[in-house]
Amino acid sequence: MTQVQDRPTPPVATITADSLDWQRASLFAGGIAFAVGNLLHPLEHSDAAYDAATWQAAHLTIFVSIPLLVLGLPHLHRRLAGRVSPRLATVGVAASMAGLIGIAPGTIIEAFVAPMIGHQAMEQLESGGMAVANGLLGAAYLGGTIALGWAVRRAELQPRWAGPSLIVGAVVLLGVMGATGPAAGVVIIAATVVYGIALAALAVRA
């Protein structure tokens, strides 16, 4: 009679929070880069702004921050899981990802194309089909930010100011949408800087 020898079961790879810690680091780095890029941005879009020393640096820094944020947002989704409804957590994170990805092409266009064609040509470009795309993607970004901020607030994640800050920042951006001039620029920059810092803070306070 042949005896069957027990063979050791091979170890099963498991995904742990530690193995995904790079997503937390990515969210932090992306948030800081997004804030820095917007701080470098001139107060308005004009031919003079295109010649500013920080014009390309601002848009390229924002561009670099986008994949970092997109790769890091699943960390925030895991933190929200079990604390709020799966639908709220998923909608906030997914819409934020879509909105951020939609911002990326515009940063490259503004960094390299705008200085070559000038402000008047850019306004004509943005008033065409590009305006529709920007409107849809902007709605995803702002709507996702509000949903994400509400989910963070409902989940009572630390720091407690992060959720309300995301909501207020998105509402402020909605209020100044289409506005021009240095005053509007200050408001927009402040709101986007708060967005980046809030996400970076949520990565730190696990």
Q: Over the stretch 140-151, which tens digit does the pLDDT of each residue have?
A: 889 999 999 999
pLDDT digits (tens, 9 = 90+) for 35-59: 999 999 998 888 888 889 999 999 9
Please say if the pLDDT value at position 82 is more than 90. no
The larger pLDDT score, comparing residue 103 to residue 206, is at: 103
- The contacts found for 107-116 with CB under 8 angstroms, 24 or more apart, are 107/59, 107/60, 107/62, 107/63, 107/66, 108/59, 108/63, 110/45, 110/59, 111/55, 111/56, 111/59, 111/60, 111/63, 112/56, 114/45, 114/50, 115/50, 115/51, 115/55, 115/56
Least confident of 82-96, 131-145, 185-199: 131-145
